[in-house]
Amino acid sequence: MTLDAIPTTEYRHLVGWGEVAWAKLIAAAWEQDLICAWADYDGFRIGPCPSSAPPYGHVWGWSKDGGTLMRGRVNGSDVTVGWLHRDYREGGCAVPCVSRDMVTWDPAYDRIRPRLANGTSIPSKMVMIEVLDGMPVTFVGAG
């Protein structure tokens, strides 16, 4: 995989939910058919948003077309959620962002072994999108 030498700058629309119950996040993630990534005690996972909050860390989600990104910081059964949309019709505030390609795991790499939901594979291309305005925050997506 070759990484872009110069990051791409673009404007996206940031929506902050603040801290909400996990149930609100999974309802939105399932409604939008997001693919999510998170870690739990059994390893790193990629698939539909889990029905219960992971024990720690973050959860990231992305739509299949990459137009919607979600980032959540897990806090027990609650989660602090932010959404980043390519389309202004989703609401939110337009913010400058930098998009960078990420290095993904080779599927043959045995040390980490992501656990994949049925019908899910390790994305061949991942992007990291950093919001540059206000409080910097990073979103992760595929595509």
Q: Sheet containing 8-21: give its strands across.
A: 115-116, 43-47, 35-40, 58-62, 68-75, 78-85, 8-21, 93-102, 126-131, 137-142
Q: Coil, helix or strand for 17? A: strand
Q: What is the pLDDT of residue 1?
A: 45
pLDDT tops 90 at residue 30: yes
- Token output for 48: 């539909």
* pTM given for the model: 0.85
pLDDT digits (tens, 9 = 90+) for 80-131: 999 999 988 777 899 999 998 887 766 666 665 666 667 666 677 888 999 9
Q: Coil, helix or strand for 120? A: coil
Q: What is the pLDDT of residue 133?
A: 82
| Residues 49, 110, 30: CA angle, nearest 5 degrees | 10
- Region 65-74: mean pLDDT is 95
DSSP 74-102: EETTEEEEEEEESSGGG-SEEEEEEEEEE
User: Which residues is 58 bridged to in the sheet?
Assistant: 73
Cβ within 8 Å of residue 85, ≥6 positions away:
12, 13, 15, 67, 68, 69, 91, 92
pLDDT digits (tens, 9 = 90+) for 36-63: 999 888 878 889 999 999 988 999 999 9
